[in-house]
Amino acid sequence: MRPFPEVPGLAVEHDFVSARGLRFHVAQAGAGPPVLALHGWPQSWWAWAKVLPALAEHHRVFCPDLRGLGWSEAPPRGYDKETFADDTLAVMDALGLERVRLIGHDWGAWAAFLLAVRHPERFDSVVVLNITPPWTGPEASTALAVSNLWRAWYQLVLAAPVLGRQVRRRAVLGRALRADNVHADAFSDEDIAIFADAFQEPARARASQWIYRDFLVREAPRVARGTYETRPLTVPTLLMHGEHDRVITPDMVRASMRPDDRLEVEFVPDSGHWILQEKPDLVAERALWWFKEAHA
């Protein structure tokens, strides 16, 4: 068992729950109305380390590790984001959480969108960070989609049988995490080590590959077919997006907007994809405001 890193000045509890036949790690801190925080690739609950103290002042924050990442169990299959969403509901049930505020980043934010449109009765409000919804809006075009295909080159690398396992190397993962940072101090060497060391376990290295294989083979075609187009977003949702994200551009976000969804967007000019590390104070401030505003 790898040791859990400590968040300075904050008492974090670490528990394991059984859900859908798997063992999930959940970090918890604070007191108050429950907030569920879903991280993305290649991170873990530690993605929330800079935001957790501020959120925990007003909420009981639950940070589960997604299957195959962090300290949760890494089965051989099941890494599509619909499965992530189903896992999340099962973890909520195991924790006795009937209804929560939800915040997610990257693939955790994709799962958050799926949860909000499919199970709106379980979520009071949602904050999503640096992801597009799994649908397109009226401004979407084939030309825009084709012109941005090259941005997904890294997904092919991560999904590859041999190249994808290079994420276990700290230098490789460090370059990936720091590629579009506006602020040079976004990730410390300790942060890189925490995320990279998890992939020393072969099962987690394979899980990392399957996250992208499942997306390329199963999920991207679903989006192209409009699988999620008919599902309205009725839960109040705030999308914060770092404008310097090299993979998901502001134009791609705008193209995913549907007029009838309860979705507001805030573009953050001095951040890239890793907005949790680059603008933690802003994320915490906006999230706390949104969770309160949705209940006003």
1 inside domain: no
Question: pLDDT at position 222, please?
Answer: 86
Question: pLDDT at position 260, please?
Answer: 92
Nearest Cα neighbor of 247 from 220, 229, 279, 274 is 274
Place of tokens 């979520």: 123
**pLDDT tens series, the chain, 296 aa:** 799 999 999 999 999 999 999 999 999 999 999 999 999 999 999 999 999 999 999 999 999 999 999 999 999 999 999 999 999 999 999 999 999 999 999 999 999 999 999 999 999 999 999 999 998 877 776 666 756 665 776 777 787 776 656 677 778 889 889 999 999 999 999 999 999 999 989 999 999 999 999 999 889 888 888 887 778 999 999 999 999 999 999 999 999 999 999 999 999 999 999 999 999 999 999 999 999 987 66
- H or E segment and range at residue 158: helix 153-159
40 inside domain: yes
- CATH number of the domain encompassing residue 149: 3.40.50.1820
72 inside domain: yes
Burial of 149 (0-12, 13-18, 19+ CB in 10 A): exposed
Contact yes or no for 186/278 (Cβ under 8 A): yes
Place of tokens 């294989």: 213
Place of tokens 């729950």: 17
256 inside domain: yes
7 inside domain: no
Residue 165 is part of which domain span? 13-293
φ and ψ at residue 179, rounded to 5 degrees: -60, -40
211 inside domain: yes
76 inside domain: yes
Strands across the sheet with 263-268, in order?
13-19, 22-29, 60-64, 34-38, 100-105, 123-129, 237-242, 263-268
8 inside domain: no
The distance of Cα 169 from the centroid of its chain, to the nearest Å, equals: 22
The whole-angstrom separation of Cα 135 and Cα 55 is 29
The whole-angstrom separation of Cα 103 and Cα 44 is 14
- The total number of structural domains in the chain stands at 1
Place of tokens 């969403």: 85
Contact yes or no for 159/80 (Cβ under 8 A): no
Question: pLDDT at position 172, please?
Answer: 83
